[in-house]
Structure 1
């Protein structure tokens, strides 16, 4: 087994298996590919972090790093934000996982996936805002880095750790409210005289479809 690794962690289990296999073995290659795949996102994150720190995207003709990511890397604003926030969290809370802190002869560490790190970054902010207890955060951080909890489980535990009076109300869904309101309009039109009903129902339906399309396009643009 690789020295210094706890076999109970995800990293320990994978590295222990690698130590028992030949590098020419197909099973070894698949396992090594899994380790490399888990580490790939943080290598991209490291480049993006340097681009932000040096304002390199401006030299390349982009107003924001998100515009650069969307146009040149085909990465959405939401994903780019998740990558950068996750990297910032690792740099602050688990710097040993960053590629730049790895010795040349040291293999890549097995990272939690990007979604897991994103949840931990949000949890870190919740602690700073005094919404989540520090001890809860530390327990979940250790669990995440050991590969014992996935993003869905961590998200649920963070949500449950926030006191009831501090929990945010769900964001209103404008599309849902508009649909309900316009459906009520159509019901009212059903009670009108037949000769008036057809034309107004058609106009109400067209208005509803236009509003749905507008709201949907705005939601996509805001991601």
Structure 2
């Protein structure tokens, strides 16, 4: 808990992220990952491979943008920096390790930006205009971000209102990816499964709140919360899908 408190204090972020709880969630993800590094490793490796596979199909003479890159666990940054002229990482906040990696590589920039362009104004959901006028763009990847867009934003709402707002944020992000002036890859949760002590699925939840994501070119399972993280009986795993061009 002390490390999390220190991280919250020293991590630069957009001003509203501290007030809204988004920075607390950002710090909590890092803490959860430290507890379950081994369980998360296959998911992170599959995510990195999917992003790189999609990136290898586009013209490298320009800029690649990675959305949701604050921790870099699931981003093949060194490979992207070697391939593209420039790489821009976009998130509400960036860990110290990410900022060091960007400085070391030289052609990588960290940009703090709310990709929904809605969070301080909710429940109004905007149509994002970010990156739409960038002729230098060659590749964009939204990496394990889509289902997280509304996690904090809808936390205080009743279930039906939370689902409606969450779906609106997800659909706005997907629509925006489709309007970008370059190919856009997508890695995102497709289902959340609650698993019982015998390995049986006792519940399955829709992390996209009814929104329709593009068909996945590849899927895998992420052991997000092994038994003992949530309670002594159940574990939580996510079904993740990667789409090379959304």
**Structure number having the greater helix percentage:** 1
Normalised by the length of structure 2, the TM-score is 0.22
Normalised by the length of structure 1, the TM-score is 0.24
Structure 1 or 2, whichever has the larger Rg, is 1
Answer 1 or 2: higher relative contact order, Cα 8 Å, separation at least 6: 2
